Chains A and B, each alone.
Chain A
Amino acid sequence: MAVFRDVMPAFELFQPTSASDAVTLLAEHGSDAWVMAGGQDSFDWLKDRIKRPKVVVDLSQVSGMSGVRDLDGGVEIGAMTTLTTLVGDPLIRERFPILSEAAGVVASPQIRNQGTIGGNISQDTRCWYYRGGMPCYRAGGNVCYADTPTAINREHAILGADRCVAVSPSDTAPALVALDAKIVIQGPSGERVVDAEDYFIGPGIDITRMHVLKPGELLVAIRIPATWAGTDYYFEKVRDRPVWDFPLVNIAAVKVVNGGTIERIRIVLNGVAAHPWRLAQVENAVTGKPADESTAAMAGEMSIEGAFPLRHNGYKVPLMRNLVKRAIRGVQEA
């Protein structure tokens, strides 16, 4: 439970007006610095005094880092674009409505008005042991409090765990992985572009981070190629309350179905592992098959192979299986 405690501890604040000034500042302050975009993930850390950066680099005054523009039939989205903008943007709605839909179910209207797409895909996990300041693996310690016989782990991972069983909480991340998005990163030594699928990492690669941004690096834009523009899609977020709540499990799938046959498909889930979980094997297995109940049943069973639930999150296994079935054969209108 959050405790209300007046103001946050002091930090030095910088408000650069360009991305290159921001990179200079980040390079100068290294791991002392915290990037703040919309702040909707950052404030909890700072208010709870779990993270105490000496320096905050606030991107709110940076120009040229927000908005959506055409890019060869795809789009380029500035990292500071708000989620509300993505919900309403005509280009996104026309080409990649799955992203509008995913952005539209994040948190609450006010959080979507303030929260950015860059922040949404760079946010930290919501494991409450970790966020409560417990010295667990992810925090540099040598125990996982969520994976003990008495742990409360209803929201935790069923796949890909490696000491840490926390999950990626982002709603937009699986949509971006499904759409083959590229993440554009600026650092002291220039620009690099990584596939969305490689942007998100699990504890086996680095247990202290959810993504590949290094201290001193700035996420500047997201590029979505035309590959999946205007195709069929399926997005569903399962959560306890329809507002504020993070996904228990969500699914983002894009597909091209011709004459009832699946020509190509991408299926990605979140809330099941530390990073968006792409079902590459399932995608291969269903390609060329009819988009019907039996293909869906086969895909559903395949998707949960290797799932290893904890004490309180066993429900995620059938949930995942059924979401995969829906993504393949669709949902009958009631």
Chain B
Amino acid sequence: MSDEHDPQSKYVPTRRDLIKGVIAAGAVSSTGYLFRGSITRAFAAAPGSVERMLTLDVNGQQRRVDVMKQETLAMTLRYKLGLTGTKLGCDRAECGACSVLIDDVPHYSCSVLTHSTRGKKIQTVEGLASPDGTLHPVQQAVVEQQGFQCAFCMSGFLMATVGFLKTNPNPTRQELAHGISGNLCRCQDYDKILTSLMRGAELSREVNNA
């Protein structure tokens, strides 16, 4: 990952510009972000035009946030809402580090427009534990089994697993491996990860049946 400017694309804001821009723009809705002047009015009247201020349902909270039209959910979560548990590994739908649940289904948040999640329920790794701090059973299992090494990939694996278990609470090892096959680990201890997540499935069943 790098924050470097591409010399060819002069219009690309750096992360700092971006944050400054957001602060400067404040809560002003800006259909005219791209097109200024009279054309703005024409767009505002068009069907399907979009306001930048959104209310997102994240981890059960209603979060009001100013979202650029081209912003991905991973960017909004990490840099607008401070939910940095969601990681960006590739930003290209190729690693799974950014996995979150949207209406209980795992998605790569780097490859979803934030605006397309309006009205949907978003859950990130920060929303797994109970408000009293009790870990989610899958988290508990990972702690028990020391499932990860550097753990950069961990929140993505947790979300993919929690989402998969909603469709198949009692998977075989093979089925779970297939269910979380959209997540990569650079430290590559897949066997141990799978063992800990299988234990997570078991603990989840115990909690749900209790």
A positions within 8 Å CB-CB of B: 2-17, 21-22, 24-25, 28, 36, 39-40, 43-44, 46-47, 49, 54, 56-58, 60-61, 84, 107-111, 113-114, 242-244
Contact with A along B155-177 (1 / 0, CB 8 A): 00000100010000000000000
Contacts A4-B2, A21-B47, A242-B181 given; indicate if A110 touches B106 (C-beta within 8 A).
yes
Contacts A9-B11, A16-B48, A244-B94 given; indicate if A110 touches B160 (C-beta within 8 A).
yes
Contacts A7-B18, A7-B68, A9-B9 given; indicate if A108 touches B47 (C-beta within 8 A).
no
> How far apart are the CA atoms of A61 and B43 in the complex, in Å?
18
Residue of A44, A107, A108, A111 most packed against chain B (CB within 10 A): A108
Contact present for B160 and A47 (CB under 8 Å): no
Stretch of B70-78, B124-132, B133-141, B196-204 that contacts chain A: B70-78
A and B contact pairs by CB, cutoff 8 A, 23 listed: A3-B4, A4-B88, A5-B2, A5-B4, A7-B70, A11-B70, A12-B35, A14-B46, A15-B50, A36-B113, A39-B112, A43-B110, A44-B92, A47-B92, A49-B12, A56-B70, A60-B113, A109-B106, A109-B181, A110-B106, A243-B181, A243-B182, A244-B94
> How far apart are the CA atoms of A109 and B181 in the complex, in Å?
7
Contact present for A15 and B34 (CB under 8 Å): no
Interface size on B, residues (CB 8 A): 54
Contact present for A17 and B69 (CB under 8 Å): no
> How far apart are the CA atoms of A3 and B92 in the complex, in Å?
9
> How far apart are the CA atoms of A271 and B13 in the complex, in Å?
38
Contact with A along B30-74 (1 / 0, CB 8 A): 010111000000010011111000000000000000001111100
B positions within 8 Å CB-CB of A: 1-4, 6, 9, 11-15, 18, 31, 33-35, 43, 46-50, 68-72, 75, 88, 90-94, 96, 99, 105-108, 110-113, 115-116, 118, 160, 164, 178-182
B31 to chain A, nearest CB (A): 8
Contact present for A109 and B111 (CB under 8 Å): no
> How far apart are the CA atoms of A43 and B70 in the complex, in Å?
10
Contact present for A57 and B48 (CB under 8 Å): yes
Contacts A10-B68, A108-B181, A110-B107 given; indicate if A5 touches B112 (C-beta within 8 A).
no
Contact present for A111 and B108 (CB under 8 Å): yes
Nearest 6 pairs of A and B residues by beta carbon = A108-B182, A16-B48, A13-B69, A60-B116, A14-B48, A21-B47
Residue of A6, A25, A110 most packed against chain B (CB within 10 A): A110
A247 to chain B, nearest CB (A): 17
Name the B residues within 8 Å of A60 (CB-CB). 113, 116
Contact present for A109 and B11 (CB under 8 Å): no
Contact present for A111 and B93 (CB under 8 Å): yes
Contacts A3-B6, A110-B93, A242-B181 given; indicate if A16 touches B47 (C-beta within 8 A).
yes
Interface class of chain B by DSSP: loop
> How far apart are the CA atoms of A13 and B46 in the complex, in Å?
11
> How far apart are the CA atoms of A106 and B6 in the complex, in Å?
32
Contacts A6-B3, A24-B47, A243-B181 given; indicate if A110 touches B68 (C-beta within 8 A).
no
Name the A residues within 8 Å of B9 (CB-CB). 5, 9, 49
Name the B residues within 8 Å of A109 (CB-CB). 106, 160, 164, 178-182
Contact present for A15 and B68 (CB under 8 Å): no
B49 to chain A, nearest CB (A): 6
Contact present for A56 and B106 (CB under 8 Å): no
Contact present for B69 and A10 (CB under 8 Å): yes
Contacts A111-B108, A114-B111 given; indicate if A8 touches B181 (C-beta within 8 A).
no
Contact present for B94 and A58 (CB under 8 Å): no
Contact present for B48 and A12 (CB under 8 Å): no
Name the A residues within 8 Å of B43 (CB-CB). 12
> How far apart are the CA atoms of A39 and B108 in the complex, in Å?
11
Option from A24, A47, A61, A107 in Cβ contact (under 8 Å) with B116: A61
> How far apart are the CA atoms of A11 and B113 in the complex, in Å?
12
Closest residue of chain A to B92, judged by CB?
A: A2
Contact present for B118 and A61 (CB under 8 Å): yes
Option from A10, A44, A47, A113 in Cβ contact (under 8 Å) with B34: A10
B68 to chain A, nearest CB (A): 7
Closest residue of chain A to B116, judged by CB?
A: A60
A208 to chain B, nearest CB (A): 22
Option from B15, B106, B113, B118 in Cβ contact (under 8 Å) with A113: B106
Residue of A11, A36, A114 most packed against chain B (CB within 10 A): A114
> How far apart are the CA atoms of A4 and B105 in the complex, in Å?
26
B159 to chain A, nearest CB (A): 10
Further contacts, 16 of them, CB under 8 A, given A13-B70, A243-B182? A4-B91, A7-B75, A8-B70, A9-B12, A10-B69, A10-B70, A11-B34, A17-B47, A25-B46, A43-B111, A84-B105, A107-B182, A109-B182, A110-B106, A111-B111, A114-B108
